Amino acid sequence: MTLELKPVQALALWQDVVLETVRRDGPDLSSRQFAILLTVYLTSPPHTVRGLAGSLNVSKPAITRALDALGQLDLLKRKRDEADRRNVLVQRTVKGSVFLRDFADLVTSVAGRLEA
């Protein structure tokens, strides 16, 4: 079952979702932060700073800072790799899972009443 989505529907969907997230006074993540969050939760581990930087085509310091911010929000956490202590493994948190599940529900809800 492939997903049929016309251009005008795509824009309407995006508008409703973005508008809703802007109106709520939630965490207000940047595009990069959100991309990192989604990548960590949707692709298989391990996730390192260097790996994320390459995958997002972004500098390493940008990843470090984003991890600081996401860590402070408790949406993600760092853990030293005991096998190779140079590495830092980025891991999920309960709060992050809840956050993304809520977001997914928002999108599906908006999509549902899109073309009623």
Q: Residue 6 touches which of its own copies, DNA, none (CB < 5 to 8 A by kind)?
A: its own copies
Instruction: Select the residue interacting with its own copies from 50, 79, 95, 101 (CB under 8 A).
Output: 101
Residue 87 DSSP label: -
Enumerate the β-bridge partners of residue 77.
Answer: 91
Binding mask 85-114 for DNA (x = CB under 7 A): xxxx--------------------------
Three-point CA angle 70, 93, 96, nearest 5°: 60
Say how many residues touch its own copies, by CB under 8 A. 46
58 binding DNA? (CB under 7 A): yes
Q: For residues 112 and 116, what is the distance between their CA atoms, to the nearest angstrom?
A: 7
Q: Is 59 an interacting residue with respect to DNA (CB under 7 A)? A: yes
The values of phi and psi at residue 79, to 5°, are -150, 130
